[in-house]
A = this chain, B = another copy of it.
Amino acid sequence: MLIRVDPASETPLFEQLATSIRSSVIDRSLAAGERLPTARALAESLGINMHTVLRAYQELRDEGFIELRRGRGAIVSASPHSYDSLAAGVAAVVADARSNNVSLAALTALIREEYQ
């Protein structure tokens, strides 16, 4: 379980964290039932604040990717379905955007608008 974080990036730390863990759950490098580091431990190893880690954890909990329990920590949820088709679709769209010189900002804006 390798988690990197870039304080200089414009994307918030808690989002970087959530993104990293979410991807690991989706591609199954983090198995259901597996334990994540405790918020305090992960915060210390990354040199950031515990609350920032917990904000990422809470976002993932709200999305159903993990479960949080006091005294126990964070555990990867049993995912009810596969994300394979979604991952494939994302890859295709991103490739299409790239070949048409559509920036990341433009693409995410299109996604956001379509999602409403």
Contact = CB atoms under 8 A, between A and B. Distances in A.
B112 A19 contact: yes
Contacts of A87: 110
Interface residues of A, number: 41
Interface stretch (A30-38, A44-52, A68-76, A90-98): A90-98
Would you call the interface of chain A mostly helix, strand, loop, or mixed?
A: helix
A111 interface: yes
A2 interface: no
Contacts of A111: 90, 93-94, 104, 107-108, 111
Given A93-B89, A96-B85, A108 B101 contact: no
Contacts of A113: 19, 23
A86 B100 contact: yes
Given A83-B100, A90-B110, 9 more contacts: A11-B112, A18-B105, A22-B106, A83-B102, A86-B97, A87-B110, A90-B93, A98-B115, A107-B111
25 contacts: A11-B112, A15-B105, A18-B105, A18-B109, A19-B109, A19-B110, A22-B110, A23-B110, A59-B105, A62-B103, A63-B106, A81-B100, A83-B102, A86-B96, A86-B97, A86-B102, A86-B110, A89-B89, A89-B93, A89-B96, A90-B107, A90-B110, A98-B115, A107-B115, A108-B111
